[in-house]
């Protein structure tokens, strides 16, 4: 881990409920479940009856975050909600919920829903992981549940998590709560997350910042990108 000359130990981000002090190199970007199965027509989200177009707004802001994290060479984590082909990691309590047209593991236009190796399970092309970035397959809503995520973050020396992804109130919020319980400081980027239900996104943001930031912080993309300018400027000439 190289530390750039003259960079402060923490970069202040204008956030709610109060300033977030982002620590260079110690903050990973975590992109939750930006998979075709949630974002595109014909996937799992659509099979549940959702209007998947609601999620499109989060793609470009997430890409802006990825571009910045990659330029800084700071850690990036992608997650996928996904199951083994034999569904041995998908309990009936999850698979048999509700009355969808298709269930997890059934064959849809993008292959078997939420099954690893199927086209629909992949991350949308514009946000696809690059070599060296972590890809965590998770059978649950939370990214720490039966995954190597915590061990990987410890290996990388990460103690802060900046969140993007979908859906705000399900896998993003669950993972933020898991992370908060494990001692990570969590910042959600408002435009880089979305829900099939805009009211749920708004309510989740309020839950996160309530009570002095009981789950974490929320900031607009512009505030985070502005805060990162000194880190971008401090990169060695070979990296800029």
Q: Which residues bind ligand C5J (CB under 6 A)?
A: 33, 38, 81, 166-167, 170-171
171 catalytic, yes or no? yes
Q: How far apart, in whole angstroms, are the C-alpha atoms of residue 212 and residue 138?
A: 30
Q: Which position among 138, 141, 186, 201 bears the catalytic label? A: 138
Complex with ligand C5J: residue 134 or 166, whichever CB lies closer: 166
Q: Tokens at residue 19, please?
A: 């300033």
Q: Which position among 33, 37, 141, 186 bears the catalytic label? A: 33
Q: How far apart, in whole angstroms, are the C-alpha atoms of residue 167 and residue 140?
A: 13
Sign of the alpha-carbon torsion through 134, 229, 227, 234? positive
Nearest distance, CB of residue 37 and ligand C5J, angstroms: 9
Nearest distance, CB of residue 75 and ligand C5J, angstroms: 21
Nearest distance, CB of residue 125 and ligand C5J, angstroms: 18
Count Cβ atoms within 10 A of the Cβ of residue 172 and give its class: 0-12 exposed, 13-18 middle, 19 or more buried.
Answer: buried
Count Cβ atoms within 10 A of the Cβ of residue 85 and give its class: 0-12 exposed, 13-18 middle, 19 or more buried.
Answer: exposed
Nearest distance, CB of residue 240 and ligand C5J, angstroms: 35
201 catalytic, yes or no? no
Complex with ligand C5J: residue 38 or 184, whichever CB lies closer: 38
**Which residue, 144, 140, 7, is CA-closest to 77?**
144
Q: Which position among 121, 171, 186, 201 bears the catalytic label? A: 171
Nearest distance, CB of residue 143 and ligand C5J, angstroms: 10
Q: How far apart, in whole angstroms, are the C-alpha atoms of residue 56 and residue 76?
A: 21
Sign of the alpha-carbon torsion through 64, 68, 70, 76? negative
Complex with ligand C5J: residue 99 or 211, whichever CB lies closer: 99
Complex with ligand C5J: residue 62 or 68, whichever CB lies closer: 62
121 catalytic, yes or no? no
Complex with ligand C5J: residue 121 or 170, whichever CB lies closer: 170
Q: Which helix (H) or strand (E) holds 230?
A: helix 229-233
For residue 4, count other CB atoms closer than 10 A to its CB. 16
For residue 52, count other CB atoms closer than 10 A to its CB. 20
Q: Which residues are identified as catalytic?
A: 33, 138, 171
């Amino acid at each position: 881990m190289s530390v750039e000359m003259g960079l402060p130990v923490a970069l202040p981000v204008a956030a709610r409920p109060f300033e977030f002090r982002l620590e260079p190199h110690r903050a990973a970007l975590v992109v939750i479940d930006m998979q075709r199965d949630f974002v595109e027509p014909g996937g799992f989200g659509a099979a549940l009856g959702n209007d998947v177009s609601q999620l499109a707004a989060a793609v470009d802001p997430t890409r802006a975050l990825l571009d910045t994290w990659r330029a800084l060479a700071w850690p990036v984590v992608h997650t996928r909600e996904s199951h083994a082909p034999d569904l041995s990691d998908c309990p009936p309590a999850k698979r048999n919920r509700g009355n969808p047209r298709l269930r997890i593991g059934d064959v849809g236009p993008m292959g078997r829903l939420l099954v690893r190796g199927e086209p629909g399970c992949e991350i949308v092309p514009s946000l696809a992981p690059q070599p060296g970035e972590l890809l965590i397959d998770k059978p649950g809503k939370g990214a720490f549940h039966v995954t190597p995520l915590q061990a990987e973050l410890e290996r990388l020396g990460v103690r802060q998590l900046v969140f993007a992804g979908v859906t705000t109130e399900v896998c993003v919020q669950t993972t933020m709560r898991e992370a908060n319980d494990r001692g990570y400081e969590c910042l959600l980027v408002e435009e880089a997350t979305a829900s099939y239900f805009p009211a749920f996104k708004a309510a989740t943001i309020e839950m996160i910042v309530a009570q002095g930031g009981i789950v974490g912080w929320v900031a607009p993309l512009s505030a985070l990108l502005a805060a990162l300018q000194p880190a971008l400027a401090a990169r060695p000439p070979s990296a800029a």
